[in-house]
Structure 1
Amino acid sequence: MAPPSDSASVNSVTYEDNKKEVSSELVETISHTQDTTEAKEGAWTSAKKHPKVILYSMAACMSSMLWGFDVGVNSITVSMPGFKMAFGYEYGGELLISATWNALWTAMTSLGMLIGSIICGWISDRSGRKIGFGIGSALSILGVGLEYAATAPGMLLAGKIINGLSLGFFLTLSTTYASEIAPTALRPSLTAAVNFFINAGQLTAIGIGNTRFAILTSASYKVLFAAQWAFPCFIAIVAIIMPESPWHLCRNGQIERAKKNLEKLHLKSTNTDLILEEIQTSIAAENALAEMQKGTSYRDCFKGTNWRRTRISCGMFAVQQFTGIAFYSQALYFLGISGLATALTFQLALGGFGVAMLGNIVSWFIMNYVGRRPLLLTGVALNAVLLMSVGIAGCFNTTDALYYVAFVMNFAQLFYAPSVGAVSWTISSEVSSTIVRARTQSLAIGTNALVSWVMNFITPYLINTDQADLGGKAAFVWMALCFVSLVWVWFEVPELKGHTFGELDEIFERKTPTRRFKEAHPYNE
C-alpha cells in the first residue's frame, strides 16, 4: 500500500483544525444562547422578576445540607463520650475509637457518594430530576434508619454507605436543577449556594451536638442520626411539588410539557416562549457537539494539549485535600483525645463552621475580581503556613500550645473556604477541553473520590494515641503536601478569568506558557 500523500496529510490536519473550530463555536453557542436583554441585566433586577425560580432553586440546593450535616455528624459522634462507650474501647485510661472504623466510616461515605453520583446521572437523564430527588430521599431514609438502629460498627458502616449513595444523588442534582431553571444573571449565585448550604449543614450538626455531649447514653448521638431524616423528608415533599426541569423535558422531546413547567416557574409577565426557544437552540448545539464527541475516548484526555488540561482538572482536587481538609475535619476527635475540654471543642467548632459560611459568601464576590490563580496560590500558601505553625505547636506539650492548635484547626476555614475551597471547583470545570469535557470531568470526580478516600483513611492512624500518635505534629504531613501543591500550581495552573471556553481551546492549542494566560488574546494574535 502506498504511503499517504502530502495532500492527504494536509487534508487530515485541516479536518482536525476544522473540528476544533466547530467544537469551539458550538460551545460558544451553548454558553451564550441566552445572551438576551434579560440575561445582561443585573442579578438584583433578575431576582425581582423570578421569585419562584429562586424558591425552587434554593429548595433543591438545600438538599446539599445533608452532606454538610453528615460531615458534621461524623466529626461530632466520634468525639462524644456516649458514642465512645458504645463503639469504642479503653486505651491508656482513655476511651478511643478504632482508627480503622473511624477511617472506614468517613472514607466509605465518599465511596458511596461517587457511586451514587454515577447512578444518579443515568437515572435522572432518563427519568427526570424529580425522580432522582425522590430516589435519593428514599436511600437517605433507609441509610439513616440503619445508622439510628446500629448497635455494631459494621451496621453503622452499612448505613453510612447507603446514606452516601443518597448524597451522590443530592449533590449531583442540586446544582444541575438550579443551573437549568435559573436565568443567566442568577445562575452563578444560585449554584454557588450549594457550598453555603453544605456549611450550614455542618453548623446545624455542631449546634445540635453542642447540647448532647454531656449525655453518657446512646441518646446523645442517636438524636443526631435521627435529625438527618428531616432532610430527605423535606426533599421528598419538594420533589412532589417542584416543576420538572424544562431542559430535561426538551431533551426528551416533551416540548408542550416543558412549556407548561416554564409557566409554573415564571411569572405571567415572563416571555416563556422565548425561553423555550433558547433552550431548544442550546440543546441542538449540545447534540451537535455530542455527535462530534462520539469518536473520542478516555485515551484522548491524555493526548496532546488535552493531557495538560486533564492534569490541571484532576490535580485541583488533590490540591484541595493536600491543604489539610481531612486533618481539620478530625478536629473535634483529635482535640478531645489531646485533653481539651469537650465543651470548648464544640464551641470552637461552632465558630469555625460559622467562619466557613462567611468565607463561602466572600468567595462569590472576590473570585471574579481577584482571579482564580492568585486566589489559589494565596490560599495554598496561607494553609502551608498555618499547618507549619500547628506542627511546631504540636512539638510542645503545654496548654498554650494545645489552645493554639485548637484555634487554628477550627478557624483555618477563614483562609481555605474563600480560596482553595471555592476556586478548585471553578478551575476544574473551566479548564476541560470542549471535545472531551464530559470524560475529563469524570476523571476529575474519580480523582476527588480517590484522594479524599486516601486522606480520610490515613488521618485517624496518624492522630490516634494507640497508632502513630503524632498529635499536632501530624500537620507537618499536610504542610509538606502544601508546598508540593504550591510548586505545582505555580508552574501548571494558569489564570482562566476573562476567557470563554472557545478562547481557552485556542490558548491551550497554542501551548501558551502558564503565566501568559492572563494577557492571551487568541483571536487577535
Structure 2
Amino acid sequence: MSSTNVEGEKPAVHNGSDADVKVERVVSQEEHAYDLDTRAKVSDYKADAIDAENAEHNMGVLEAVRAYPMATFWAFVMSFTIIMESYDVFLCNNFVALPAFREKYGVMHEGNWYITTSWQSALQVSGQLGALIGVFLAGPLTSWIGYRWATLAGLMFLNGFIFLFYFANSLPLIFVSQLLEGLPWGIFIANAPAYCSEIVPLPLRAPATQMLQMFWAIGSIIVGAVTYVYNPVRNESAFKIPIALQWIFPTPLAILIFLAPESPWWLVRKGRLEEAANAVGRLGRRSRLNVNETVAMMRRVVELEKTEKEPNHLELFKGTDLYRTLIVCGVYAAQNLTGNLIANQAVFFFEQAGVSTNTAFALGLVVSGLQIVFVMLSWILTSYLGRRTIYLWGSAFNVVLLIALGVAASVGMSVAASNAQASLGLIISVLFTLGPAPASWVIIGETSSIRLRPLTTGVGRASYYLVEIPLIFLSSWLLNPTGGNLGGKCGYVWGGTGLFCFVVAYFWLPEMRGRSYREIDILFRRKVPARQWKKTVIDVHDDE
C-alpha cells in the first residue's frame, strides 16, 4: 500500500498488508497512551516526591538514624542471615585444617593426615553449588511473594537441611547436605543487600548494606572460636558440635523476619500503596517524616521504570539494564579475584605458610576480629569519600600486597619468610574488608533498577559463584601440599587477577554516592560515562 503525505513528499512504501499497518498503528497508539498516562500519574504527586527526595539529600547520617531507627534495626536483622552462609563456608574451610576431621576422613601423607585435594575442593564448593541454584530461585520468588516471605521460606528449609549435615557420616553425604544448605543461602545473599538498600534513606544506604560484610566476619569469628576450642579434641565431637551450633540461628531469625515490615519499594511496585505507607511509618518516626511524600517519591521512580511486562531475566541483558547487570555481576565476581579466597582460607593458608595449627587458628580469629573493626571504618570512608574511590584505591593497594606476598614466598624457606607470609596474609585478609569488600555491597544494592532489583541481585550473586567455584579448586590446588604447594606464591596469581579487576573498574564503575534512585536511573539512561557521574548535575524536576 502507498500513501502521499500532505507536503507532497515522496510517497512512503509499506511492505505489509493494510491489516499489518493498522495493527502497527494501534500498538503505537497504545504505547503513546500508556506513556501519557504514566506522565499524568507522576505529575499528580510530583511535588510531594520532590520534597521527599530533597529531604533525603539534605539529611545527614546521624539525622537519618534518628529519623529511621527501626529501618536500621531491620537492616541489621536481615543482614544477620548472612552469618549462616559465612559460618558454614568457614566451617568447611576450617574442617580441612581440623585434626579430628582429617583423621576421620583424610589420608596419610608424609606422616600427617590431609583431606585430599579433590575432596577438599568438593567440600568447599558444595554449598556454593546449592547457593548458585538458590540465587536463581530467589529473584522470581521474591518478585512474587516479597522479601519477607522468601527469606522465611529459606530459614525453615535450612533448619531441615542442617539435620542432614549433622547426621552425615561420609564425605559424599556431607557434600550433598552442604549442597542442600546452599539453596537457602542463595535466597539470603540475593535478598539481603536489596532489602537493606530499599528500607533505609539515602544517607544510610552505605552503612546498611556494608553490615553484610560485618556479619560475614562475625560468622567467621564464631566458627574460628568454636574450631579453636575443639582443635585439641580427637573425637567426632570436634566437628559435630560446630555443625549443631548452626541451629542457633534460623528459628529466632524467622520470628524476627516475620515481624519485620516488607520493603515499601516492593509494595509500591505491587500497587499496594497503603501498605507501603504503613511500612514507611514502621521504619521511621512519623513525627520526623511525611509518609505520603516518601511513598510519592517511590511511586515517581516506579512509574518511570514501569512497563506492561512482568519482570523477567531477559530484561537484565537489554538496553541500559545490561550495563547495570554487568556492574553488579562484575563487582560480585571481583570479590573472588582480589583477595577473598585467601581471606576465606586464612587458617589453612597460615598452616601452609609454616605456622603451627594452634597459631593458625588463633591468627584466623585475629583476622576475623580485625575485619569487623575495618568494616566499621569503611562505613565512614564509603559514606564520605564515595564507593568508587574506596573500591579503586582499596583494590590497587590489595594488588601491591598480593605481589609482595608472592615475593616473600620466593626468597627461600626461613622463619623470617614464613612470618612475612603470615603477616601479609593477615593484612590482605583484613584490608580487603576496608576497601573492595564493603564497597561492593553498597554498589550491588544501588546499581540495579528498582523494578528488576530482586532479579539483578540474584544473577549478580550467581556470577560470584560461577567464578568462585572453579577458583576454589584452583586455590586449593595452589595451597595444598598434595597439589601445587605454592603457599604464598599464590599472591602472584591473585595479584594479576586483582590488577585486571582494578583496570576494568577504573573505566566502567560509576560513583553513586549521594544519588537518589531517580538520579541513578536517569544517569544510566543518558549513558553518562562512569568517570563523569560525579560531575554531572541532575535537576530535581527531571524525569528522563
TM-score under structure 2 normalisation?
0.80
State the partner residue of 1:78.
Answer: 96
1:89 match: 107
Give the alignment's TM-score, normalised by structure 1. 0.83
**Cα distance in structure 2, aligned partners of 1:102 and 1:224:** 18
Residue of structure 2 in register with 1:460 after alignment:
476
Structure 2: runs of 5+ lacking an equivalent: 3-9, 14-20, 22-27
Give the 3 Å change call, closer, same or farther, for CA 239–68 of structure 1 in structure 2.
Answer: same
Q: Tell me by how many angstroms 1:361 deviates.
A: 1.0
Residue number in structure 2 paired with 1:477: 493
Alpha-carbon distance in 1 for matches of 2:268, 2:531: 42
Counting only pairs closer than 5 Å after superposition, residues 397-412 of structure 1 correspond to structure 2 as 397-412=413-428
Q: Tell me: CA distance 1:438–1:227, structure 2 relative to 1, closer, same or farther (3 Å).
A: closer
Q: CA deviation at 1:179?
A: 4.6
Instruction: Say yes or no: does 1:156 pair with 2:150.
Output: no
Identity among equivalent pairs (%): 25
The answer to whether structure 1 residue 346 and structure 2 residue 361 are counterparts is yes
Q: For 2:118, which of 85, 100, 124 is the aligned residue?
A: 100
Instruction: Specify the SS of the correspondent of 2:256.
Output: helix
Task: Give the aligned partner of residue 394 of structure 1.
Answer: 409
**Secondary structure of the corresponding residue to residue 53 of structure 2:** coil
Distance 1:296 1:61, change over 3 A: closer
**CA deviations over 1:13-50 (Å, ceiling 9, x no partner):** xx99x98xx89x98x97996843758854443454455
User: What is the letter of the counterpart of residue 123 of structure 1?
Assistant: L
Looking at structure 2, the residues matched to 288 and 372 of structure 1 have their Cα atoms a distance apart, in angstroms, of 26
**2:479–2:485 CA contact under 8 A, matched in 1:** yes
Gap change, CA 1:364 and 1:92, over 3 Å in 2: same
SS at match of 1:211: helix
Q: CA deviation at 1:173?
A: 3.9
Change (3 A) 1:226 1:434: closer
Post-superposition offset of 1:89 = 0.9
Residue identity matched to 1:59: V
Per the alignment, in what secondary structure is the counterpart of residue 355 of structure 2? coil
Q: CA deviation at 1:145?
A: 1.7
Partner residue, 2:7: none
Structure 1 position 310, deviation (Å): 4.6
The CA deviation string for residues 67-121 of structure 1, in whole angstroms up to 9 with x for no partner, is 2222321222111001101121112222111222222222231222232233234
In structure 2, what is the Cα distance between the partners aligned to 1:248 and 1:506?
20
Counterpart of 2:108 in 1: which secondary structure?
A: strand
Tell me: CA distance 1:313–1:256, structure 2 relative to 1, closer, same or farther (3 Å): closer
What is the CA–CA distance in structure 1 between the aligned matches of 2:217 and 2:155, rounded to whole Å?
20
Separation of aligned partners in 1, 2:191 and 2:493: 35
Are residues 1:169 and 2:187 paired?
A: yes
Partners of 1:499 and 1:257 in 2: how far apart?
26
- 1:414 positional shift: 3.1
Tell me the equivalent position of 2:156: 138
Residue aligned with 1:90, SS = strand
Distance 2:363 2:274 in 1: 53
- Where does residue 450 of structure 1 map in the other structure? 466
Contact 1:179 1:187 in 2 (8 A): yes
Match of 2:231 in 1: 213
Please report how far the alpha carbon of residue 155 of structure 1 lies from its aligned counterpart in structure 2 after TM superposition: 0.8
Q: 1:328 aligns with which of 328, 333, 343?
A: 343
CA distance in 2, matches of 1:469, 1:114: 29
Following superposition, the deviation at residue 166 of structure 1 comes to 1.8
Partner in structure 2 of residue 116 of structure 1: 134
Deviation at residue 394 of structure 1 after TM alignment = 1.7
* Structure whose CA Rg is larger: 2
Show the 5 A alignment for 1:15-94. 34-35=52-53, 40-48=58-66, 51-94=69-112
Output the aligned Cα RMSD: 4.1
Partner of 2:18: none
- Find the aligned partners of 2:266 and 2:507 in 1 and give their Cα distance: 40
Distance 1:47 1:105, change over 3 A: same
Q: Distance in 2 between matches of 1:251 and 1:501?
A: 14
Q: In 2 relative to 1, CA 167–506 (structure 1 residues): closer, same or farther, beyond 3 Å?
A: closer
Aligned partner of 1:486: which letter?
A: F
Q: Which whole-Å CA distance do the structure 1 matches of 2:312 and 2:531 have between them?
A: 30
SS of structure 1 residue aligned to 2:306: helix
Kept in 2, the 8 Å contact 1:134–1:239? The answer is yes
Distance 1:51 1:375, change over 3 A: closer
State the alpha-carbon separation in 1 of the partners of residues 322 and 262 from structure 2: 37
Q: Give the number of aligned pairs.
A: 513
- What letter matches 2:405 in structure 1? V
After the TM superposition, which of the residue ranges 277-286 and 223-232 deviates more from structure 2?
A: 277-286
Q: Secondary structure at the match of 2:254?
A: helix
